[in-house]
Structure 1
Amino acid sequence: MAVDVTDQAFINELIRKEKSGRKLHLTRFAIAAVLMLIYLVPFYYLFVTVFKSTEEYLSSGVLELPQSFAPFLDNVADAWRLAGMGRASFNSMSYALIGASLAVGLASAAAFGLTRLRLRSANTWFMMIFAGTLFPFQMFLVPLFFGYQQTGLINSWLGMLLIYTAICIPFPLLVLRGSFGGIAREIDEAARIEGASEWRVYRSMILPNAKGPMIALFLIQFTFIWNDLLFSSILATSPEVRSIMSALQTLQGTYASSGPNVVVTASLISSIPTVLLFIFLRRYFMAGLQLST
């Protein structure tokens, strides 16, 4: 249908639609700007707090700019000393690195058996492993506590590593079961024809094709273990084995008089490893999310 571009009514309609589109874009931009400002308020509070001394924090407004950057190093020193963050950081790093690696590794082995070996009742085995995630973790605390007491695992490094590894297996198994199932079976068959064992098929054929999802899962489980407070506050209360989050909790208890500026500084320090790990593995993380969906 031909349109007369010289028609004044047609021109006015185009102008009206253009103005309407501009108003819509401006409205969306304003809403996005407001939401961004709301989102940035906690980060602003973090920034201005870590550079204040306790006296300055109590005497000035919460969102006022600090007078200088000098108190930051004192806050770091106080947080590190009062909370025992050196030992706690080492404990959490060992739990997170080893626990997440073991969980993803065991989950990959289980996923290989469930999807590539044609096991009988594979779905039943999967549901038995995954059923533990259907209940809240709080239900496990009482039997775990008494079981750990009877076996001598309470307040032990090994006990914490075992529970973190166990609770981190089901979710990677769920993801890798779908990822492994999407790999062509011709790869397995060709490798077996060449005389490769099942271990060789798993190690050389399947794992390289699931590198992205496995790294993404490792990062997710590492973050979960690093940020856990529930199990560490119940099963590891001694300073020798407690996690970084349990150490932060002591700043609000025994050393509550140290001031919010020290607590916020300690929280900032505790977030650095996970942020750096995500930055370092972001490329693999995004690729893994795309492959696992």
Structure 2
Amino acid sequence: MNPTLWTGLRSTFLVLVAVLWLLPVWLMVVNAITPSAEYSGAPAWWPETFGMITNLTEAWQTGQMGPGFLNSLLYSTICAAVAVVLAALAGFGTVVLKVRHKTLWFWLIYCGTLVPLQIFLAPMFTAAARSNLYDTRLGLMIVYVAISIPFAYFLMRNFITTLPREVFEASSIDGAGPLMTFLRICLPMCRPAMFAAFIFQFTWAWNDLLFGMTLTASPEVRPIMASLINLNGNYSSVGPPTVLAGALIASVPTVAIFFVFQRFFVSSLTLSK
């Protein structure tokens, strides 16, 4: 095929995919701008009047999104960071250290991503209720850390396998123990992969609704997505523009953190040496 023709087809395909991807975002923003009193029920494709500030304020107050926003920020940041560090430690152990049955350990940890999360709901609810962790921040954070580890471990383990083994051998010859080697050698070299794993797990924890609704009941503990669902519930008195404005509020942190750590994310995908 002609290289020029192939380039044109590829560019056209990418433009179409981008348009299809951005179209729902455009509709969400436009309809969030529309004042609730002027909303006709049909999706607006272009804003005629500006009611964004009113919709944002109403969504924040009616949906009690303030506590949920702070809770999700706490859950996503701390749980993702703890999970990534534990995953890096597990990856270091199964790649660098001399442990038996490395493949078995890999599958035991990674299989946590292969099981549907809905299977864990009943036993987790029972365990949380019996241990007095139901409707507590600590209980939800334990769940988020545990579920975030397998995929973060997959990323960290694969990245550590690309690192030169000579560096770890030299550290051992110089007298450094496993912990010192992990802290002084492995962690600095794994920084791009750790930031990429952090982005993935932060986004997952922030967008979680399943465990946020199942393991919590009070607005003081529930994450942002549970607050957003309450705003859009059957007994809610707000209109769709207000709900969409609430969705915009809920999407800001994930977009911001991606742009902040974009450089590390790209470098980890390229597995730079």
TM-score (norm 2): 0.91
CA–CA distance in 1 between the matches of 2:113 and 2:243?
A: 32
Aligned to 2:46: 65
In 2: Cα distance, 1:126 partner to 1:31 partner? 38
Aligned equivalents of 1:27 and 1:113: distance in 2? 46
Other-structure match for 1:104: 84
Query: Cα offset for 1:182?
Result: 2.3
Which stretch of structure 1 is more off in the superposition, 99-108 or 198-207? 198-207
Task: Kindly indicate whether the alpha-carbon contact (under 8 Å) linking 1:213 and 1:292 is maintained by their aligned counterparts in 2.
Answer: no
Residue of structure 2 equivalent to 1:12? none
Do residues 204 (structure 1) and 184 (structure 2) align?
A: yes
Partner AA of 1:75 in structure 2:
N
Residue equivalent to 1:218 = 198
Corresponding residue of 1:173? 153
- Within the candidate set 45, 48, 53, 2:27 is matched to 45
Cα deviation, 1:7-55, whole Å, max 9, x if unaligned, reads: xxxxxxxxxx99xx77x88777766655554443323312321221112
Indicate the larger mover: 163-172 or 115-124.
Answer: 115-124
Larger displacement relative to structure 2 (128-137 or 73-82): 128-137
Distance across 1 between alignment mates of 2:165 and 2:11: 49
- Kept after mapping to 2: 8 A contact 1:178/1:292: no
Matched, 1:283 2:263: yes
Aligned partners of 1:255 and 1:82: how far apart in 2?
12
Whether the aligned pair in 2 keeps the contact of 1:85 and 1:247 (CA below 8 Å) is yes
Residue 85 of structure 1 corresponds to 65
1:259 offset after TM fit, Å? Answer: 0.3
Q: State how far apart, in whole Å, the 2-side matches of 1:255 and 1:263 are.
A: 13
- Equivalent residues of 1:96, 1:226 under 8 A apart: yes
Name the CA shift for 1:284/1:254 in 2 (closer, same or farther; >3 Å).
Answer: same
With 50-59 and 130-139 compared, the bigger mean Cα shift is at 50-59
1:75: how far off? 0.6
Deviation string 1:151-175 (CA, Å, 9 cap, x unpaired) is 0011000000000000000111122
* Counterpart code for 2:124: L
In structure 2, C-alpha distance between the alignment counterparts of 1:241 and 1:40, rounded to whole Å: 33
CA separation of 1:118/1:30 partners in 2, compared to 1, >3 Å: closer, same or farther?
closer
- Whole-angstrom CA distance in 2 between matches of 1:32 and 1:197: 50
Shift in Å at residue 62 of structure 1? 2.1
* Distance in 1 between residues matched to 2:227 and 2:260, nearest whole Å: 26
Equivalent of residue 153 in structure 1, options 133, 139, 156: 133
Letter in 2 for 1:242: R
- Coordinate RMSD, CA, aligned: 2.4
SS of the counterpart of 1:291?
coil
SS at match of 1:168: helix
State the Cα distance separating 1:289 from its structure 2 match: 1.2
Whether contact under 8 Å (2:35, 2:49) holds in the other structure is no
Distance in 1 of aligned mates of 2:137 and 2:88: 25
Amino acid at match of 2:110: F
Q: CA deviation at 1:115?
A: 1.2
Question: Which of 149, 167, 177 is the aligned partner of 1:187?
Answer: 167
Q: Distance in 1 between matches of 2:170 and 2:17?
A: 54
CA distance in 2, matches of 1:32, 1:290: 21
Amino acid at match of 2:47: P
Of 259, 270, 274, the residue aligned with 2:254 is: 274
Return 5+ residue gaps in structure 1 as ranges.
Answer: 1-16
Distance verdict in 2 for CA 1:57–1:213, change over 3 Å: same
Structure 2 unaligned blocks of 5 or more: none
The structure number with the bigger radius of gyration is 1
Q: Which amino acid aligns with 1:65?
A: W
The Cα of 1:288 is off from its aligned counterpart by 0.8
Matched, 1:131 2:114: no
Distance 1:31 1:106 in 2: 40
Residues 155/115 of structure 1: CA separation in 2 closer, same or farther (3 Å cut):
same
